[in-house]
Amino acid sequence: PGKLIDGRAFAAGISTEIAQEVSTLRARHHCVPGLAVILVGDDPASDIYVRSKVRKTTAVGMRSFPHRLPATTSQGVLLDLIAMLNADDDVHGILLQLPLPARIDAKTVLDAIDPAKDVDGFHIVNAGKLSVGRDDGFIPCTPLGCLMLLKAERGDLSGLHAVVIGCSNIVGRPMAQLLLRERCTVVVTHINTRDVAAETRRADIVIVAAGHPGLVRGSWIKPGATVIDVGINRIHDDTGSHIVGDVAFSEVHAVAGALTPVPGGVGPMTIACLLHNTLRAAQAVIENAKT
């Protein structure tokens, strides 16, 4: 069987480095990186994510500014809050927890965030920078975490054949852009792709973010390929309720060279990358002040 990539240990290592850099910033520049997290409504899954983000932000010595707004909040009130956070020098990163209530237009509010504080990388300016291969924007946290794991596993990715399954703006699409920037040959597949299995069989690197448990079978995997499973799916069976990814785990594990488990693979990397982006945002403010 292939190696299991320990995302939890990797993320813990990144968090330790970030904590050291935060204490350096505090000592040398009297700057404490701050992350504002906005949650609209009371979706239980979002609430768990926000709590976990707040806890991990303070654990590395950063300041956390959670803003919990009722589900009835108007778009105007949300835009006013974003304007206030854009102007607040103590806030280096702003994260708007998705999904938003249907009344609110996600595009409008995401694009109201100052791109220099858009640590989720969803602002059109940051998405545009990534799509033209520039490295001075913020990269969405989940694909960035996948890339860090891939580089640790494979080193230089240049020329490798990568297949991305799923093309959401949050995971698949930015993942494909990032792999292209690393000079991979990239094939993006999605729900309308005629034969995802045939495309995947050619891949040295498979990234699956479809939200479909057991989608990727062992017979789809080229022996030795590196498989990154982004899926988070709750399933219920005779033994209770479990979280599983998008690959048929034991089949794929038997064929792949390396595989991320779920849980304990990509999941912990996402928050570590959020803290990484927030640290970068604070460092950029200090750099800009020098010039």
Between 46 and 86, CB nearer to ligand NAD: 46
Give the bridge partners for 21, in sequence order: none
**Residue from 60, 96, 266, 282 binding ligand NAD (CB under 6 A):** 266
Spatial separation of the C-alpha atoms in residues 31 and 281, rounded to whole Å: 12
Residue 126 binds to ligand NAD (criterion: CB under 6 A): no
Q: Closest separation between CB of residue 7 and ligand NAD, Å? A: 9
Between 227 and 232, CB nearer to ligand NAD: 232
Residue 142 binds to ligand NAD (criterion: CB under 6 A): yes
Spatial separation of the C-alpha atoms in residues 280 and 92, rounded to whole Å: 9
Question: Is 222 one of the catalytic residues?
Answer: no
Spatial separation of the C-alpha atoms in residues 19 and 102, rounded to whole Å: 37
Task: Please enumerate in sequence order all residues whose Cβ is within 8 A of that of 54, keeping only pairs 6 or more positions apart, or say none.
Answer: 37, 64, 66
Question: Is 97 one of the catalytic residues?
Answer: yes
Residue 215 binds to ligand NAD (criterion: CB under 6 A): yes
Tokens, residue 157 = 């990715």
Contacts to ligand NAD from residues 55-114, by CB under 6 A: none
Q: Which of 56, 117, 120, 129 is catalytic?
A: 120
Between 226 and 270, CB nearer to ligand NAD: 270
Spatial separation of the C-alpha atoms in residues 172 and 184, rounded to whole Å: 15
Contacts to ligand NAD from residues 216-255, by CB under 6 A: 230-233
Inter-residue contact 122 to 144 (CB < 8 Å): no
**Residue from 18, 37, 167, 256 binding ligand NAD (CB under 6 A):** 167
Site residues (CB under 6 A) for ligand NAD? 142, 165-168, 170-172, 189-191, 193, 196, 209-212, 215, 230-233, 266-267, 270
